[in-house]
Structure 1
């Protein structure tokens, strides 16, 4: 084959690849534009000032289609159907307490920068950022606002995957001391020191003393509710299994969690555990909930479910914490609730 013919073929190949690349970019841009286009009948959202110290509000990540999709947003707790106030802060996961916010941002692709954990003040101004080791999954702040925790996937894409790996970190926002991986804590399981290469820890929820927390520990195909101590660097088995994504009630007496109801399947139902009696109460939500529920108060839990007919969005639902009642739609097009 002559040199001229080789150059011709090479030129055609380059043009074809360029065309394919342009096509992919335009397709992605079109999908992004579609996601950012307001939908008829969707919630009203307006740009404004968001403060984490303004009481009587619920903060959340706005998942409604439109220009404020992905923004940290607030709405009055007593009027959730009212106009939402959207900030300029974009997050994949968010939580806040006592004027401290933690915002988890996804990376921009394989070759782009990694994701970040952004610690904010009450006005959502950035105080400090920390690189994430993977895909954002869970975020929490202690009741005092001093401690922040986050979980990321460093392998696998969901808790329903056959193989996945997580990393959970805790940060002291006063000293900026970071505990990068809770798997480094001393683990006690069934009364004995425990160590295994398949250990995963996720879903931190803090008590009010800025030392005690609860989390899920997974190993050998089972999940355990563990009680942690930051000062002692310990994780201790509570004796309760099949607990994922725990959430401690404001009064510190109960833990809401998702319980796998079918072995080997991504099906979870919401339960509440009484920490004194270890009695488990199934809640009235019978759909599968893959979320770390949030206590809006001592009687009500909120959680995200996929929007019916829209795989790119979620809605926030509530249910009574005592097993009575029925699920109620709180906020369409929303995730990551945090009562202020």
Structure 2
């Protein structure tokens, strides 16, 4: 169900000269800039009574802003006592190390047992923050670091920093194939034309760029370090598949299992048993949204990826030094 909302505000001096969408995002922090932009494009925003449809239009001090729009009624999610691996916490932000299998946000088929449910139990005040303070997401089967805002002020600033690429996110991945060198993928990502649950590199997609470097080479696989320059859904998984080096174990983009010739039974079983994308958000760096202190955290590689890496090293060593 949806409900009609009416928002009214006067533009203060400190926002004079700003873009309409960015100014409204500050004036109405309960709503995302993306949603506000949609309202502007739909003709649901008025300045001094005149409909405005250009998000880039400048606003000036003293003008009256009015928004009349329909929004979906918020669903009330229940707090749940789910253990969280908390890496850092103060009164403004929370950094967690997400395990594989934990869904970030409730959705179809995942109404409970999610990170959002856990956050509502761990810090009940986030019920007043949009999306319970979740600033960015990790896929269900991806592990690693995430930052959560505990206040609207912190969330607003972190979202701005994310848009400006001021938040550094570095990942570790194991891919099929041996890359000779690192590089950068700059390819737009959008919904797959036929597989609706998948994303793909498409001409009309949103801009997306990923940097990667080779950390270690094996017989038929590579261990990579990657940094996001944007934050599209499944970005690393899609970009590496686009290059022809899909992530090991990826259920959506990985393709068929690739085994080196004459692989041992033990190594074959480890590869066959790895049932998630080999992807881990290992490092997160950001400026604290209130104190402005530059902070950085690292999360150790999860055990399943460590076991896989050791198995690949052993396979390479056996191939390089065959036993008589």
Would you call these one fold, judging by a TM-score over 0.5? no
Which is richer in strand?
1
Which is richer in helix?
2
